Structure 1
Amino acid sequence: MSTSMYNTTLLGWEDGTFYPLHIIAIVCILCSLIASVVVIITSFKTHKKRFFSWSLSDRFVVYLAVCEMGFNFVHMFDHVTMVITTDHVRPLELCQFYAFLMVVLVFTKNLLLVTIALNAFLLMCFRHQMEFGSRDWRLIAGVLVLPLANGILALSSEQLGPAGAFCLIKPGLSVFIGATIVTSLILFVNTTLYLLTWFHIRRETRRIRSVIGTQAQSRSAHVEAAKTMTLFITIFTVQWWAVVVYGIWQILTNDVPPVVFILVVIFTNIGGCLNLIVFLSILKKQRGTLALRSNLTTPSADYRAGALSKKNESNTGQTSI
């Protein structure tokens, strides 16, 4: 079995793209890994409360960063080993171990993004937020059970191993089903929910403006929460569009240009950077909201001066009596 699993061609060796492919991947993975670490550390530094008392968006950012960091860490060993040995990862058991972890982590992250998309849709259309239980146990169990079962099934059916440029799903029908179809389905579901959510956001925003005016400084909380969650849906589209294009291209021609696969390598390995962009956007909104509340609750200089003047007049009057 071990010999047959290594019949896969070493991608990029014949056309001279082997080293550029892996070096680009390692650079992207390093950037993503650093970004994920920054997100996790900054998240805990900027919150004084316990983790499960944070807002749902803040917790989602951390969950995604943990998944991305785990994926980057494993994938880094994968690519570095292949560059050093100029061969597939050996022994087979190590390659399958890498593949299993990456399948579980990628699937888990994608289910998290589907959950976010669904929650944003429910929040915007029905003003109902999904209940994830104490310490998010329902969410964690829900996004882990299916990926683990899928990984175990793929491992037991010998579908995990050398894939040409890394350790993942073996080339063939499994790649078509596990990458192209599943990714396309998730992309379709997320895009549909995204469009429906944004349609309702625009309608709700117009309704609010008609009631409180175009100069209003605040909007409904559920509108802002839904808008924040749609950012997560956007990063999924940016990260995985190249995989869908590559899969469809391979079905149609079976002769995909190397540049298309390099795009796959770049975009699939920058998830941590994309998550950092969402995190910074949320942080900016939160600081803007805090500044707005501070301005609304802090008395103006004129008001304070007037109050002080009245107080002095009152004290003078009391003294004269």
Structure 2
Amino acid sequence: MSANVSDKLFTSSRQFFPRSDGDVSSTADPYVSRIPVTENVSTTRDLFDPLSGDNDTASMTADPFVPRSGYDFPVLGMDDGTFVYLHSLAIGSLSTSLICAIITIVLSFRTNNYLTFFSKWSRSERYVVYMAICDGVFNISHTIEHVHGLVVFGHIRPKELCAFYGFMVTVFIGAQNLLVNVIAISVLFIIYFDKNINFGKRDWKLLLYCFGVPFVGAVTAAANDQFGPIELFCAFDQVKGRMSNFLFNTIPIIVITGVNCVVYLLTWKRIRDQAREVKQTMGIENCRLRTSSRAARNMSMFVAAFFAQWSGVAVHAVWGLVTPHIHMVLYFLIVFFANIGGLLNLIVFLIIRKSQPPRRARTTA
């Protein structure tokens, strides 16, 4: 009954508002052009939404896209053809870094007796080994991840494997960053207060802090399903792990980079001042100043390597707070420098080895 009445009203309206020669679909209104108008209003209504009521407009609009995880986003580089280049650059950089890390460890133990690692090795020499271990484990895990992504040509699956890759990245990058930060602060104590920070027997305090804190954080994140795909690799999930990424990556890298920068500038200023003092002093005081400056200079090399490796990531973190759109050139630089830690550490090792005095004159700094 209601259909007949609406048909009559529609026919009457056409008498007062006749249609032009053009079809309705040619109208400028995009919504009108989507509705197939027929002579019978009830038929038109049924063709458009046969299951809803006359006044139900919710079904006329599509549901907005709400991503549930990082898997709902395309992999970085797929749309512009840089996917293969990014993965290839990462694999090449990581492989080079792994080889350099192995060389560093081998040369370190060939130069010194492993039985005296905690008793006679200098702190700089032990730091080299710790950094090389972090680089090596990170390089192995991350290389496998990039090869996996390149083979499947997309996101890493299953999700559990992606979470494992993210866990490894979080632990060993976090450990390395904390270690460099501790080294920077140690240099400050040596150069300004002529004092070594006590890290306990066999460096247990240092190792517990640098490896324990990232491990606990990563376990907590894994227990709360925070790991998953993000852009090109696996870390904190692009959707579920946004807050974790902000707390575990963005804030720490910005703070650590800032602190290291300040400490590094203060240290080098003090080293320059001490260099002038050395020229004006003689005897035991001269030897003490030389030893202190050499130890500080050696350990500050780790901070310089940190800037080379992670400055791009720090810029990325700050940039990401302002806009999510990161220039691809910056991303290529990040992929290269963030994955050559083993090479930078080998360069630091060779510099320290060249500057070291004979064993009998060495300090434990």
TM-score interval, smaller chain: 0.7 to 0.9
Letter in 2 for 1:47: N
* Cα separation, 1, equivalents of 2:287 and 2:89: 44
2:97 to 12, 21, 32: 32
1:157 to 203, 209, 224: 224
Is 1:51 the counterpart of 2:121? The answer is: no
The 5 Å alignment of 1:189-228 reads 189-212=259-282, 220-228=290-298
Task: Indicate how the Cα distance of structure 1 residues 201 and 4 shifts in structure 2: closer, same or farther if over 3 A, else same.
Answer: closer
Letter in 2 for 1:236: F
The 5 Å alignment of 1:105-254 reads 105-171=172-238, 172-212=242-282, 220-254=290-324
* Cα separation, 1, equivalents of 2:215 and 2:247: 17
Report the structure, 1 or 2, having the larger helix content: 1
SS in 2 for 1:161: strand
* Cα separation, 2, equivalents of 1:241 and 1:164: 19
Contact 2:254 2:318 in 1 (8 A): no
* Cα separation, 2, equivalents of 1:132 and 1:218: 22
* Cα separation, 2, equivalents of 1:253 and 1:119: 36
Is 1:95 the counterpart of 2:165? The answer is: no
Distance apart, 1:135 and its partner CA = 1.4
Structure 1 partner of 2:133: 66
Task: Indicate how the Cα distance of structure 1 residues 181 and 3 shifts in structure 2: closer, same or farther if over 3 A, else same.
Answer: closer
Distance apart, 1:138 and its partner CA = 1.4
Distance apart, 1:7 and its partner CA = 1.4
Contact 1:187 1:237 in 2 (8 A): yes
Deviations 1:132-164 (A, max 9, x none): 222111111121221111111221222211112
Distance apart, 1:6 and its partner CA = 1.5
* Cα separation, 1, equivalents of 2:311 and 2:90: 17
SS in 1 for 2:228: strand
* Cα separation, 1, equivalents of 2:130 and 2:329: 32
Letter in 1 for 2:275: T
Task: Please report the RMSD computed on the Cα atoms of aligned residues, expressed in angstroms.
Answer: 2.2
Between Structure 1 and Structure 2, how many residues are aligned?
Answer: 288
* Cα separation, 2, equivalents of 1:5 and 1:158: 12
1:261 to 331, 345, 362: 331
TM-score of the superposed pair, with normalisation by structure 2: 0.75
The answer to which of 251-260 and 22-31 deviates more is 251-260
Letter in 2 for 1:126: F
* Cα separation, 2, equivalents of 1:223 and 1:164: 43
Contact 1:32 1:271 in 2 (8 A): yes
Instruction: Work out which of the two has the higher radius of gyration on C-alpha atoms and give 1 or 2.
Output: 2
Structure 2 partner of 1:14: 79
Greater relative contact order, per chain length (Cα 8 Å cut-off, separation 6+):
1
Deviations 1:49-96 (A, max 9, x none): 621120000000000000010000000111000000102111111110
TM-score of the superposed pair, with normalisation by structure 1: 0.84
Residue segments in structure 2 that go unaligned for 5+ positions in a row: 1-66
Deviations 1:234-256 (A, max 9, x none): 11111111112222233333222
Distance apart, 1:233 and its partner CA = 0.6
Runs of 4+ aligned structure 1 residues displaced above 4 Å come to 216-219
Task: Indicate how the Cα distance of structure 1 residues 142 and 174 shifts in structure 2: closer, same or farther if over 3 A, else same.
Answer: closer
SS in 2 for 1:180: helix
Distance apart, 1:217 and its partner CA = 9.5
Distance apart, 1:223 and its partner CA = 1.2
* Cα separation, 1, equivalents of 2:243 and 2:279: 52
* Cα separation, 2, equivalents of 1:114 and 1:62: 16
Contact 1:111 1:143 in 2 (8 A): yes
Distance apart, 1:173 and its partner CA = 4.2
Task: Indicate how the Cα distance of structure 1 residues 7 and 145 shifts in structure 2: closer, same or farther if over 3 A, else same.
Answer: same
Task: Indicate how the Cα distance of structure 1 residues 103 and 194 shifts in structure 2: closer, same or farther if over 3 A, else same.
Answer: same
Deviations 1:103-145 (A, max 9, x none): 0101111111011011110011111101122211111112122
The answer to which of 178-187 and 52-61 deviates more is 178-187
Distance apart, 1:275 and its partner CA = 0.3
Structure 2 partner of 1:310: none
